[in-house]
Amino acid sequence: MAIFNYVIKIIISVCSIIGYKGESLAAPLLVTCLKKMEYRGYDSVGIGTINDGKVSVRKGVGRVEDVDSNLLLRVLPGRIGIGHTRWATHGKVTEKNAHPHTSCNGEIAVVHNGIIQNYSELKSKLMRKGHIFRSETDSEVIAHLLEEDYVSSGDLRGAVLNTAKKLTGAFSFIAAFSDGTIAGARFDEPLIVGISNDGYYISSDVIGFLNYTDRAIFLDNRDIVILKGSEMEMISFDGAPVMRPVTQVAWEFGGIDKGTYAHYTIKEINEQVETIFKSGKGQEDKIEQVSELLKSAPFVYFTGSGTSYHCALVAKALLSKYGRRKSDAIMSSEFQYLVNDIEPDPVIVAISQSGETADVLEVVKKAKPLGSKIISIVNVPTSSLARLSDISISMNCGPEIGVAATKSFTSQLTILYAIIDRLSGGVIGLENQRTKLQNAVKELVEGQKLIEQIANEIKNAKDIYVLGRSIHYPIALEGALKIKELSYVHAEGIPAGELKHGPLALIDKNSCVLVLNPNDSTFDDVKANAHEIKARGASLIGIGSSPSDVYDRFIAIPEVDEVLLPILEVIPFQVIAYYLALEKNANPDYPRNLAKSVTVK
């Protein structure tokens, strides 16, 4: 058995799926497991159990706790079952579209994560054969495909194999059969088996079962697991037996609990005092290897999605200024269409919190066969991206339950700083400033009272604009993203130098503008922008080192070397977004319509 002392964050699925087969009552376990994984999908919830040859399903719209309270999910009988929390892709958020979905004969129940791209074609064929569909989802076709094959052949194993091979897209599913068998299959979506003293778990996320066991099998792509009787069988989509190692996963269990904090998001913002200090520690050899690769590469590409893309923009600026290397930063959703036209034999630095982001994986899968070297920065060392990479550096920032990235962003950023610092011969001087940086982060998170007051003052703003120049522009983008994600207020990051080229037309007395105005080469130009905004009557908040009368409010950034300012500048935006969410009566941990990691395109 392989043993890894990882302190890891498993955030790897748009929806969460869980299965259990063992000696304990399944329903209470499933409800508890789903609560642990809910941050990745919380539109609706459902569970199905098997008892005395009968499949029972209960499901509803809403959070796990609410649906369980209303429908008593946890009292369903049986020691075998499956569960699901949904982030809607196909079909509205309704009880009918909630999982599990069942076959026509009611003897098979299925939970699914991902997207079945050919579901429409499959559904049409099944309907012509008399199958009746009850939902608008793509997921339901799996239950009917299993039924079609199983009824005609009587071969459960063959039905699972045939069904998995007929599906196109990225998926993982767990099926429960009335005879007590549970089967799971994965293709480009993660699936993990947990082995406990009293039974087996199958889950999209190790967090789901980690309270019950730390022994896990990470299934590979195109793997199928079948739990029949007391036996576990693992096979490939070709039907051949496969063996996967058992990994013992060590975890900081306390990190998954909110402790004394009202929300995970504010807890994780505060944890940056430690996570920024620790980022990259213990991985100096990998950082050295990556720096040498970047130094010799004919061209470097940084890629990521959302928050990770903003890290890529900062990295491009740092590599140009301190590493004197040509590079580009391209968002993954666009990069996948450009892969065939990139520079020959490049190094691609792929940044992803989960290591399962669909657009990032698409880039890597297309670029690797063309000769690209793949470097990844992730928080899950067992993720798909980490496995596809030539070198993978783990953030090790612990569980991040809040949907909006906070400590994972600054951990990614700090690791990128460490790599470019090593490449440049220590010009940035990160290692000599870690303690100073940590003290500065501590000062910022302890100054939340002022930021809470500012959030109260701007709570009625309908539009918020965030301005920055040079390396601070990506932080303006990230700051605007945080405000959008958590408070549902329209926010836009704008390059301050482009203000007179269009955006100034938006500024009036109803506008709220936040300006990144640090003491560096951008200071005077940004101050001039601030005066232009003030002349239009907008509410103006400055973020920097030098207060000024031009600002209605000012958030001071503690003094550090100017190159490190982006790491600090993002923190006030995280705190503003959090308190704005509270002012708007929005749950900052679970923003509407969003999931922790987008594993579907």
Residue pair 176/82 in contact (Cβ under 8 Å)? The answer is yes
Annotation marks residue 407 as catalytic: no
Helices marked H in 368-447: 384-388, 407-423, 430-446
Q: CA 168, CA 117: separation in Å to the nearest integer? A: 5
Q: Phi and psi of 475, rounded to 5°?
A: -70, -35
Contact criterion met (CB below 8 Å) for 37 and 207: yes
3-class state of residue 399 by DSSP: coil
Annotation marks residue 596 as catalytic:
yes
Catalytic hit among 15, 33, 311, 397: 15
Q: In what order do the strands lie in the sheet with 223-228?
A: 101-102, 108-116, 169-177, 182-187, 223-228, 231-236
Ramachandran category for residue 259: left, alpha or beta (phi over 0 → left; psi -120 to 50 → alpha):
left
CA-to-CA dists, residue 326 to 46, 320, 348, angstroms: 50, 6, 12
Q: Which of 21, 316, 373, 596 does the annotation list as catalytic?
A: 596
Ramachandran region, residue 521 (left: φ > 0; alpha: ψ -120 to 50; beta: rest): alpha
Beta-strand relationship, 16-22 and 199-203: antiparallel
Listed in order, strand segments (DSSP E) in 23-65 are 44-51, 54-61
Alpha-carbon torsion, ordered 143, 145, 147, 148, to 10 deg: 160
Distances (CA, A) of 33 to 8, 37, 74: 18, 7, 11
CB atoms closer than 10 angstroms to residue 54:
12
Pairing relationship of beta strands 490-495 and 391-394 according to DSSP bridges: unpaired
Task: Locate 598 and state its tokens.
Answer: 């987008």
Q: How far apart are CA 62 and CA 395, in angstroms?
A: 32
Contact (CB, 8 A) for 304 and 375: no
- What are the two backbone dihedrals, phi and then psi, of residue 251, each rounded to the nearest 5 degrees? -145, 145
- Are 30 and 18 contacting, i.e. CB atoms less than 8 angstroms apart? yes
Q: Can you tell me the distance from the alpha carbon of 35 to that of 330, in angstroms, rounded to the nearest whole number?
A: 35
- Tell the residue number behind the tokens 């003094």, with chain if given: 559
- CB 149 within 8 Å of CB 163: yes
Q: In what order do the strands lie in the sheet with 16-22?
A: 2-4, 247-249, 215-218, 192-196, 199-203, 16-22, 80-86, 44-51, 54-61
Distances from the Cα of 520 to the Cαs of 284, 542, 573, 599, in angstroms?
A: 30, 15, 20, 39
Catalytic residue annotation: 15, 596
